[in-house]
Amino acid sequence: MISLNQVEKVYRTRTVETLALNNINLSVEQGEFLSIMGPSGCGKSTLLNIIGLLDEPTRGKVEIAGALVRNYSGRELAQLRNEKIGFVFQSFHLINDLPVVDNVELPLLYRKVSARERRRLAEEALQSVGLSNRIRHFPTQLSGGQKQRVAIARAIVGRPSILLADEPTGNLDSVMGNEVMDILLRLNKEYRTTVVMVTHDESMARRTNRLVRLFDGSQVG
């Protein structure tokens, strides 16, 4: 499903050159739940960006769902992100001016889906995260855990094969964090969605299939 081969990422600014990822070799099978751990600044987000087609590696080969990423145009990458990948972020990134259900519909706006079908899929996604009774609420009226569940509903509404979560429980207390984790585990089981999750929490990582540790841009186990 995901295959990284000798991936290297260098950030160059005028004054410094940062080696954010160094010789990463990683392969994730379909249906796998992988967690990534490591200290702040070790390259976890960079790695997710590359897998999520939001950034390109400086060197190395990236294959997502059997397709070699380097051969795609910006438009095709946008379409791949839209169809194959769902994102969940630590800071939720909900649009506060839109009700929950419209936030969830967002990925479907970038493909050809009728308004009624969008609404149906969004309600279904919200149901699967247990927020059917909050669809008309605005994000500001929700708790952190609820916000993250909306973000997960948004990530899965387009039925992606890969779910990328960057510290999804980082802003939540342990109760809400566990709820979110339960949902991710359930989605992984039910739909065989491949999940790659960055986390700081050992207990969360233990509940996944596999753990990759990064240190200073390199895999250490």
Residue nearest to Mg ion (CB): 45
Rounded to an integer, what distance in angstroms lies between the CA atom of residue 49 and that of residue 63?
Answer: 13
The yes or no reply on residue 20 touching ligand ADP (CB under 6 A) is yes
Nearest by Cα to 43 from 209, 165, 216: 216
Which burial class, exposed, middle or buried, applies to 31 when counting CB atoms under 10 A from its CB (0-12, 13-18, 19+)?
middle
Q: Which of residues 23-82 bind ligand ADP (CB under 6 A)?
A: 38, 40-46
The tokens of 219 are what?
A: 């895999």
The yes or no reply on residue 52 touching another protein (CB under 8 A) is yes
Rounded to an integer, what distance in angstroms lies between the CA atom of residue 126 and that of residue 103?
Answer: 11
Out of 6, 11, 29, 202, the residue judged to bind ligand ADP by CB under 6 A: 11
Find the helix packing angle between 115-128 and 100-109, rounded to 10°.
Answer: 120
The yes or no reply on residue 18 touching ligand ADP (CB under 6 A) is yes
Q: Which of residues 36-95 bind Mg ion (CB under 5 A)?
A: 45
Which burial class, exposed, middle or buried, applies to 178 when counting CB atoms under 10 A from its CB (0-12, 13-18, 19+)?
middle
**Measured from the CB of residue 38, what is the shortest distance to ligand ADP in angstroms?**
6
The yes or no reply on residue 89 touching another protein (CB under 8 A) is yes
Sites of contact with ligand ADP (CB under 6 A): 11, 13, 18, 20, 38, 40-46
The site for Mg ion (CB under 5 A) is made up of 45
Which residues here bind another protein, judged by CB under 8 A? 45-46, 49, 52, 54-55, 74-75, 78-79, 81-83, 87, 89-91, 93, 95, 97-98, 102, 106-107, 109-111, 115, 154, 166
